[in-house]
Structure 1
Amino acid sequence: MNRSNGDCHDRSITAGADFLHLAVDEVPRRGKSDWLAGQIRLALADSRLPVGSRLPATRVLAGELGVSRGVVTEAYQRLIEDGHLAGQGRNGTIVVGAPVATPTATEPPRPTAPPSPGAVFAATPGAAVFDAMRMVRARIDLSPGLPDLAAFPRAAWLRTERRVLDHLAASDLGYGDPRGTPALRLAIANWIARNRGIRADPDEVLIVAGTAQTLTLLGRVLYDDGISAVAVEDPGSLGARQHLHNCRLDTPPVAVDSEGLRVDELRATGEAAVLLTPAHQFPTGVVLRGSRRAELMRWARETGGLIIEDDYDAEHRYDRSPVPALRSVLADHVVYAGSVSKLLAPALRIGWVIAPPKYRDALVDAKRFTDLGNAALPQLVLAGFMESGALERQLRHLRRHHRRRRDAMIEALGTHLPGATVHGAAAGLHLTVTFEAGFADTHLAAEALARDVKVHPLSWHSQRPRRPGLVLGYAASTPADIRRGVATLGDVLRHLS
């Protein structure tokens, strides 16, 4: 009996949460919230708590650790403010991001950036360099192209998914139309009519795996049609050029100024097709103005030219009115491409393309022979999500959310980079800064990366020489990280000047 009582006594000393194997006797007498937040950060960094993990309820963990519930609540709140956790109401607290691992006395330091970041930026920015940069982990990532992934509406998405599965017919699990499910094509047609002024029949909509696949499929179709080049904006998206090059298409540059694409330069190239981002030019953020739009339409009608309209983030705007899509006024000469990558998350890999009749069947054939069509279940969930009004609600939330982060970046730039010129801050998920200085922006980006801050040099997205600059994404970073990242850029710039 005594031995049994002793066993119970031993267990009470070492008892604690199964969660991270924390024990009561490990809890310090002071700084309990700091200690608990630190233990969770370590678990995030070494992947014991992967993204998507659900943390114990505050009441449960507090009871197991023998501390007040306020201790656990405060620790969780700190990690929520840092962007590592997200409170999901009744669904608990979820891991949405992990910090870079902190070396310990028993663990050798692990590099969080390439051994020589300068080599990455000094190399010609081809596909290998771009892919290498995607793999580089940095404590603060200000790369453009992402919305706030932590804001993904998990609960609303899950409710929609359950409704879809509850009403799913067995036949819906078979091979479907390579153009996409009828439900999603209808939802897209309704969405672009409401939000972009485009009238399209659902039969005209082709569902693809994002705008990247649109460029690949269209590139093949244009090449087979005898087109050897697609003119592009300069500066313009490096990734888009890479997809076109992969289809053996040249990408002659056309200058962009404060009014948008220089249509006179487009005419001078003699090319039959052009890719542009008229509602929010990437990366400068300028809008294609009325006179340029009219001039571009004249070019298309007079030459039979094709306009590829990448409408990648037109819904995100803060300080200006919406800009009509080119497709809404010139349907027979415009291939319109959109996606939910900037509205929800790139991970969904769902986009859409609407092409003139000349290319429509060829694009459907290209899609069929590529993959037989996108996965049907995510399409049906997205269709229900859009038609229920949930996507509009999410967009309204993101506009407020992203605007606060945009404002934090502009404030930080004014403090730490007062000599920089800011471009394109009225809309989108990124802005561009340029400098009147004699240094290479790739050098600035490399030095920043060595300090755990990742950015895009403007020269990566330029085919012709121009002033040094950076393309800075703000939507996917917390205001605190934005301020720290921009402060680091300012410190690096002072050493370069």
Structure 2
Amino acid sequence: MGDSWVNSAERIGADLHLELSGPGGRRAALIRALREAVRDGRLAPGTRLPPYRSLAADLGIARNTVADAYAELVAEGWLTARQGSGTRVAERAEPLRRAERTPVDAPPRARGPLHDLRQGTPDVSAFPRAAWLASYRRALQQAPNEVFGPGDPAGRRELREALTEYLARARGVRTEPERIVICSGFAHALRLLCAPGGVLRGPLAVEAYGLGFHRELLAAAGVRTVPLPLDEDGARVEALGRERAVLLTPAHQFPTGGPLHPSRRTAVVDWARARDAVVLEDDYDGEFRYDRRPVGAVQGLDPERVIYIGSVSKSLSPALRLGWMVLPRRFVDAALAAKGEREAWASVPDQLGLADFIVSGAYDRHVRRMRQRYRGRRDRLVAALAAQAPHIGVTGVAAGLHAVLRLPPGTERSTVKAAAWQGIALDGLASFRHPETDLPAADGLVVGYATPSEHAYGAALDALCGVLPPDRRRERGPRHPG
């Protein structure tokens, strides 16, 4: 009985009093009163609140009014609710002293997140330091003196040759070293392709959900983007019209998940041939798949109509700043001209290190090891949701480094806010939605399961499940007039 309301009330003192007053009705008054009790420290972190029925009887209000108030405070991060554990005051920072108080709606103090579940980065603690050092040392020992001179704007031939073999074997890309241009990553590739006199002209079709940063980069270059609808088979390429190009994530649609359907892969290449257009293929995490057969690159269907772009930012580390464009022959000169002065070139020693890392087989071994690790992370996320929040759907988990959690309608914004309050960094699905799309909005969270280190991942999952909206269908039960 140590968790009962009576004993909890005795522990924090008999002066606890919920004064239901002010505008907005009983529900709003109860929310204000509970917030104030938590803020003042009268309800300490971890305190279990009474069941809906008990508190409703004590206050003379409807049970559903209490349920709605609890649900709102859970969404805001003041309370947590888990099946079998009841509703408790969230484990947060100690209440501010009265002289230090900030307004109720003030954002939390700026600090790093306790749990980083943002998409976009690998587990940086897993970087293969020893193997990379060995490759880097061999590359520098064997490098001729001219390596340390101006070099080739296309990138070191050693790396372009290594990529030609690796991409053909692992991703089905058809190319040769002369058609590969080394860059610093996907964003750098877009800037080069959008440069004056470069390859891309607007309008350019993009998937209705994607990285806003990429859309902003294109807009800054004067390239207008047109949203392309999505469904369970990926981008609906039949909606393409007079656009000059289309940007796709066909191996694993970002962020909703799932590969582009085979018939649509063929259809988009046919469209590009008919319109004299180009397909930009962003293969951002193509190496990581778990429950499906490998999906090859669209580029293999027509190397003269598809620009294939990849990098090591997910497979190794974004800190290396190494990526590549596999270009149709007619675009190589324009891309090299856009690179211009040497300041925009990727580090030559790093290029040589990556070339050796690939040729020696260390890259394949690292990818296989991380594929197993991330699959385990994915499985733990799915299991935690099944145990603690079975009403929350999870999609897009057959490949990649993130999952989409499908939330009840109208709960995304409050859940993201609650997560931030609890020190959890993650993204709401709405932040990736093209502002001009007609696609119906869906509430969800984009949860990256690769970023936390192994020792921190379990705590991150517990914290995540603690801020998810409760199953209102099970909590409410039959309504009674109040």
TM-score (norm 2): 0.72
> 413-422 or 168-177, which moves further after superposition?
413-422
Matched, 1:199 2:190: no
Whether contact under 8 Å (2:278, 2:305) holds in the other structure is: yes
Q: Indicate whether 1:356 and 2:331 are aligned.
A: no
| 1:380-459 equivalences in 2 (<5 Å) | 380-439=352-411, 441-459=412-430
Deviation at 1:495, TM superposition (A): 7.2
Distance 1:144 1:175, change over 3 A: same
* Aligned-partner SS, 1:442: helix
The answer to whether 1:212 aligns with 2:178 is no
CA deviation map 1:74-100 (0-9, x unaligned): xxxxxxxxxxxxxxxxxxxxxxxxxxx
* Aligned with 2:215 (options 238, 241, 244): 241
Deviation of the 1:136 alpha carbon: 6.0
Q: Which residue of 2 aligns with 1:49?
A: none
Tell me the CA shift for residue 225 of structure 1. Answer: 6.0
Residue by residue, what CA displacement relative to the aligned partner does 1:324-356 show, whole Å, maximum 9, x if unpaired? Answer: 101111111101100011110000000000121
Deviation string 1:175-233 (CA, Å, 9 cap, x unpaired) is: 10011011111111111011011121101110000111011111225x75682221100
Write the mapping of 1:91-170 to structure 2, written as runs, cut at 5 A. Answer: 116=107, 137-170=112-145
Give runs of aligned pairs for residues 6-17 of structure 1, distance below 5 A: none
What is the SS of the residue equivalent to 2:331? Answer: helix
The Cα shift of 1:433 comes to 1.3
Judged with a 3 Å threshold, the aligned counterparts in structure 2 of structure 1 residues 151 and 489 are, in CA distance, closer, same or farther, namely: closer
Q: Residue in 2 aligned with 1:231? A: 205
**Residue correspondence of structure 1 range 16-35 to structure 2 within 5 A:** none
**Does the residue aligned with 2:246 lie in a helix, a strand or coil?**
strand
Task: For 1:366 and 1:225, locate their aligned partners in 2 and report how far apart those are by CA, in whole Å.
Answer: 10
Percent identical across equivalent pairs?
Answer: 38
- Residues 151 and 158 of structure 1, relative CA distance in 2, 3 Å threshold: same
What does residue 377 of structure 1 align with? 349
Counterpart in the other structure of 1:176 = 151
What residue is the counterpart of 1:43 in the other structure? none
Q: Are the structure 2 counterparts of residues 483 and 372 from structure 1 closer, same or farther at C-alpha, using a change threshold of 3 Å?
A: closer
Given residue 140 of structure 1, which amino acid in structure 2 is its aligned partner? Answer: H
Q: Per residue, is there more helix in 1 or in 2? A: 1
C-alpha change, 1:220 and 1:372, in structure 2 (3 Å) is closer
Supply the distance in 2 between the matched residues of 1:274 and 1:187 (Cα, whole angstroms): 28
| Structure-1-length-normalised TM-score | 0.70
CA contact (8 A) 1:178 1:374 kept: no
For 2:449, the aligned partner's letter is Y
Provide Cα deviations, 1:114-160, integer angstroms capped at 9, x if missing partner: 96269xxxxxxxxxxxxxxxx96201100011112111110011111
Determine the structure 1 residue equivalent to 2:338.
366
1:247-396 matches, cutoff 5 A: 247-267=221-241, 270-369=242-341, 371=343, 373-396=345-368
Matched residue count? 368
Alpha-carbon separation, structure 1, partners of 2:419 and 2:231: 28
Task: Give the letter aligned to residue 107 of structure 2.
Answer: S
Change (3 A) 1:331 1:136: farther
Q: Is the 8 A contact 2:159 2:351 kept in 1?
A: yes
Deviates more, 1:353-362 or 1:338-347: 353-362
Q: Residues 407-456 of structure 1: CA distance to partner in whole angstroms, max 9, x if unpaired?
A: 111111222332222111011111111123223x2332122011110001
Contact 2:288 2:371 in 1 (8 A): yes
One-letter code aligned to 1:218: L
Secondary structure in structure 2 of the residue aligned to 1:331 = coil
Say which structure, 1 or 2, has more relative contact order (CA 8 Å, 6+ apart). 2
- Which of 161, 175, 178 lines up with 1:186 in the alignment? 161
The separation in 1 between residues aligned to 2:175 and 2:469, in whole angstroms, is 52
SS class of match (2:152):
coil
Q: How far, CA to CA, are the matches of 1:225 and 1:395 in structure 2?
A: 32
Q: 1:474 to 1:189 in 2, by over 3 A?
A: same
The root-mean-square deviation of aligned C-alpha atoms, in Å, is 2.5
C-alpha deviations, 1:250-307, integer Å up to 9, x for none? 221111111111012223xx21111000011100111111111122122111111210
